[in-house]
Amino acid sequence: MVDARFRFAADHILREVVTSHPRAPGVVAMAGDRAGNFYEGAAGVRRLGEDAPMTTDSIFALFSLTKAITATAALQLVEQGRLDLDAPAKRYAPEIATLQVLEGFDEAGAPRLRPPKREITTRMLLLHTAGFGYPFWNAICKRLAELDEPIPRGGMKRTLMTPLLFDPGERWEYGRGVDWCGLVVEGIAGERLDAVFKARIFEPLGMNDTGFLLSDSMLARRAAMHQREADGALTPLDSEPPAEPEVYMGGGALFGTALDYMRFLRMWLNDGTGECGRVLEAETVELAARNGLGDMKIKPLPSVDALLTNEAEFFPGQSKSWSLAFMINDEPAPTGRPAGSLGWAGLGNLYYWLDRKTGVAGVWTTQIFPFMDPTSVAGFLAFETAVYEGLARGL
């Protein structure tokens, strides 16, 4: 029986987020333990100006919540002895060998390139140490993207064929490495990423509402993206359903529900076992949850595109590391999340955490640009805090 005070507090947080100023259009939040969800809540609407309410089965663009799923597919191949994380990634995705390191720009503004000092490995792709970035968090990446006319739409391999920002393995920079990891998975499996995910992750976990393409049922439940304006108001954004892409981007192209994502997180709580079968071995889960950066730490992400993102950092001032699939908070977080817990986020203001020590996980999903929207982040952190306060009372 869930503690009534916790349910009241969680419901109140969601209502406040969609009614205060500046508001969110709609939000779904869930929390659970190894046995199942103990809270599922929704508030607001799927699209401002329309009547359809936000529901717990609403469909969201998951953005970088996709990354941990791609990492899971790679780890399955490691278990099968088909993927060596420390072998050159070109063994599985040959085109990655053509990428060079950016040394600067010549007088005409063209990139000056040189061969990398070492080869990219799949481990580097997963740890974000391969040399890739994102054009909304890295000014050099943005300059490179602006040289490409016209800038290609999402889902095109051309977006991945960018110069490296530094020699592989030298530092941490959040970027497109996991998109390349998806190509590694495809190269080994001999199938496209959607088929790999469906057979090896989604079916064993009962994730029937997650995919790169939207079924008619999913499209009918899709939450609209919104843009936060300077005065705090929100403008709904019109977007077409995604067409069949040239590349299924393993770093951020899935659609799905909070319900399905909780099934995925619960698998990690349960040492690799899902609702309908095992996805990973317990030893793999343990390995993948450890810090993979050594003494290197992740850094704040500075905004270079104010429409898409604010400056991004979780728990400012605290040390954070990275595992093969997740961010790790090295210190206890002010929400109650213990040191060593896992988590990350998606560009449209989706957030989650995974606490294997306590055996609890949670997800917060909405659809707003720019990332790290203050209303959304405050709501997520308040929700997480309410979960730990409820656990302290015995829930």
Tell me the mean pLDDT in the region 177-199.
98
239 a catalytic residue: no
In whole angstroms, give the CA distance from residue 209 to residue 296.
37
CA dist 132 → 103, 135, 169 (Å): 14, 10, 11
In a domain, 103, yes or no: no
The one catalytic residue in 39, 58, 67, 261 is: 67
**C-alpha to C-alpha distance for 125 and 132, rounded to whole angstroms:** 9
Decide if 215 is catalytic. Answer: no
pLDDT of 312 higher than 70:
yes
Active-site option among 39, 58, 64, 92: 64
Task: For residue range 130-141, list pLDDT tens digits in order.
Answer: 999 999 999 999
Mean pLDDT of 288-299: 96
**Model pLDDT, residue 1:** 60
Asked whether residue 202 is assigned to any structural domain, the reply reads yes
DSSP string, 319-338: -EEE-SSSEEESS--TTSPP
Mean pLDDT of the chain: 96
Tens digit of each residue's pLDDT (9 = 90 or more) over 55-67: 999 999 999 999 9
Quick: pLDDT tens for 370-383: 999 999 999 999 99
Q: Look at residue 290 and tell me if it is in a domain.
A: yes
Residue 4: the pLDDT is 87
Tell me the residue range of the domain where 327 lies.
4-77+187-392
- Per the domain annotation, does 159 fall within a domain? no
Q: Which of 161, 136, 87 is nearest to 308 (CA)?
A: 136
339 within a domain of the structure (yes/no) = yes
Distance in angstroms (rounded) separating the CA atoms of residues 176 and 324: 14
Contacts for 45 with CB less than 8 Å, ≥ 6 apart:
18, 25, 26, 51, 52, 53, 54
What pLDDT was estimated at residue 151?
60
pLDDT of 150 reads 61
Output the domain CATH number for residue 384.
3.40.710.10
Catalytic, out of 39, 92, 134, 174 = 174
- What share of the chain in percent tops pLDDT 70? 98
Q: Is residue 17 part of a domain?
A: yes
Residue 150 within a domain: no
67 is catalytic: yes
Q: How many domains does the chain have?
A: 1
Asked if the structure places residue 105 within a domain, the reply is no
